[in-house]
Structure formats: C-alpha cells, structure tokens
Amino acid sequence: MAWQVSAWAGFVSVLLAANGLAHEMTDPDSARSDTLSRVLGSYEQLESERKFAEAAYQHALQGLDQSRANADRQHVFIASFVPPSLPEESLYPRRWRSLATVALIVLALWGIGGLTVQSVRDHLA
C-alpha cells in the first residue's frame, strides 16, 4: 500500500514539474538563460519518470486485483446440511440398567458376606 502512495506522489510531482516546464517554454517574457535543449532534456526525463510511475501504478492495481481474487477464492463458507435438533430419548445414562447392576453387586456382596459369617460360625462351633 505504501508503494502505491509513493507511486502516486511521484506521478503528481512529475505532472507539476512538466506543467512548470511547459509554462517556461511558452512564456515569451521569460528572461532566463536556460537553453531550449536543456529544458527539453529535463522534460524528457520527467516524461520518462511519469511513464514509469504510471506503469508502477498499473502494476500495483493488477496486484491488488489478484490479491482480492485470491482472498475471495480462499474464503471458507460453512453450510449446515442438517439442522441440529434435540434428542427425543436419551441414550445415556441408562438409569434402570445402572440400578440393576448396583443391586446385583450389593446382593453378591451380601451373599458372600453371609456365607463368610456362616463359615466362621461353623468352624468355631
């Protein structure tokens, strides 16, 4: 972006200088000692600088257009194919299955504990 601004600044300065030279060349009351060849030489230099600045500006515009096209091409769009919905029936936790599992474990521990107590009583008697 900065080099675009500098290209424009160069372009404007070349145009202003060319306007001043054109005024010097056509002013009949000019009492300056500059020769016509010197004025034409500097005008040609300014004209070549103007053409260079114009070409640099055109190149910058092309780069900007390419950058915008690349950015548009790389932009990611997310499309939802199926809208989300709330579940009708919960899958987890399975409350009845968990309750039955805990009850079976407690029953097994109670049975093992009861058999252990009976075995100790039997050995002591």
Cβ–Cβ contacts within 10 Å for residue 60, how many?
Answer: 16
Pair (7, 67) in one structural domain: yes
Pair (104, 68) in one structural domain: no
Split into its structural domains, the chain has a count of 2
Q: How far, rounded to the nearest angstrom, does the alpha carbon of residue 77 sit from its chain's CA centroid?
A: 13
Pair (14, 66) in one structural domain: yes
The pLDDT of residue 65? 92
Query: Do residues 21 and 46 make contact, with C-beta atoms less than 8 angstroms apart?
Result: yes
Pair (25, 59) in one structural domain: yes
pLDDT digits (tens, 9 = 90+) for 13-43: 666 666 665 666 566 555 455 566 777 778 8
The pLDDT of residue 15? 63
Q: Could you tell me the residue range of the domain that residue 103 belongs to?
A: 95-125
The pLDDT of residue 122? 92
Indicate whether 86 belongs to any domain. Answer: no
Query: Do residues 53 and 10 make contact, with C-beta atoms less than 8 angstroms apart?
Result: yes
The pLDDT of residue 22? 60
The mean pLDDT values, 10 residues at a time, for the chain of 125 residues are 60 64 59 64 86 93 91 74 80 89 97 96 89
Q: State how far the Cα of 90 lies from the Cα of 106, in Å rounded to an integer.
A: 27
Considering the entire predicted model, what is its pTM?
0.37
Indicate whether 103 belongs to any domain. Answer: yes
